[in-house]
Structures are given as C-alpha cells and as structure tokens.
Structure 1
Amino acid sequence: MEWFYLVVAGIFEVGWAIGLKYSQGFTKTLSSILTIIGMAASFYFLSLSLKSLQIGTAYAIWTGIGTIGTVLLGIILFKEPINIMRIVCIVFIVSGIVGLKLVSIE
C-alpha cells in the first residue's frame, strides 16, 4: 500500500502545483482553496507512505512524479514550450524514479 500512497501523493502534488498557477498568487478564492486541499492531501499521503518507505527514496519519487506531471500539464494546459531537451530531462527523471524503486529496501 505504501507505494500506492506515494503515487497518490505525487498526483496530488501535481494538482496543487498546477493549482498555484490558477490561484494567481492566492488571489482566486476557489483555486486557492483547492490548492491548499491538494497540498494537505499530498502531504497526508506522503506521510502514510513514509511509515514503511525510506525517506530519501519516497521524497525523491514524490518530487519526481510532481515534476514530470507538472511539466507535462504545463505543456498541455499553458502551452509551455516542448523541445528535445525537456523530453530528455523527463526521461532522466523517470529513469531515476524507476531506479530508486528497483533498489529500495522495503
């Protein structure tokens, strides 16, 4: 279950990161509230995963999921640029996440 919690925490991290953009510096009420809820949910699920996962592995994977998801949604939702170097960097992050999962001690 701890890996499931970690993935859920990462998804919520993507949600609150995108929510920050929509909240426009916490000046939009609904977006701000949803962003704060996403933050709380992300930290909650991360804390559940940390009951049995190593902190270094879990934190790196959590931020990696958040980074990849936020970059991809930035490209889709906000028309941020996409180029080969961004794709290469995403592949490196995915490789790191997979590598950390493979070498983790549970």
Structure 2
Amino acid sequence: MNHFGHSLKTLRSEKKISQRKLAELVGINYTYISKIENGAQEPPSEDTIIKIARVLGEDADEMLIQANKIPSYFQKMITENKEVSSFLRKAATLSPQQWDSIHRILDESL
C-alpha cells in the first residue's frame, strides 16, 4: 500500500465514509478508490484529490503532497516568480532557527 492510499483509507475510515459513498460524492468509481487504497493504483489527479479532500474535510495541499504532487498554483508561483525559485534553492540550507524566524515573520504579516 502506498503512503497516499494508506492515508486515504485511514481518513475515510475515521470519517466513517464507505468507499462507495466517497466515490459517489467525488464522482468516480468506487473500485478506483479501492485500488488507490490498496496500492494497485497510483494516486489520482490533482482535481480528484482536491474533491476527495473537500469531502473528507481535509487540507487539499497536504493531501496533494502526500501523493507526491505539487499543487498547480505552487508550480505557477515557482515558474512565474524568480524570487520564489531563488528562495527554494536556498531553503535547503536553512537552519531550524532560520525557519522559525521565517515562520514568525509570516505569522506577523498575516
């Protein structure tokens, strides 16, 4: 079972939603849900993950990242803004203290 499939199964079970009900609410076949949860199928498309997240009341970005997918608006932001791509290149070398400082700055500005 892949990480996304395992997480999906856990979330769905916690919310007490059957595979059939989730599939119905998302607009896909329930066997597809089963295959994802059992690792027989790769995680679905971004749009489908976003629909699943809405139904389950979960953060779509977190679910996309669990599926090893980069949200499309992140991709757009990275490709359209040189400062973002420069920051991401440097981010790998930041210390935990520097990350804390960045979080504080962001929290204060919002």
> What TM-score, normalized by structure 1, do the two folds share?
0.26
> What TM-score, normalized by structure 2, do the two folds share?
0.25
Structure ranking higher in helix proportion: 1
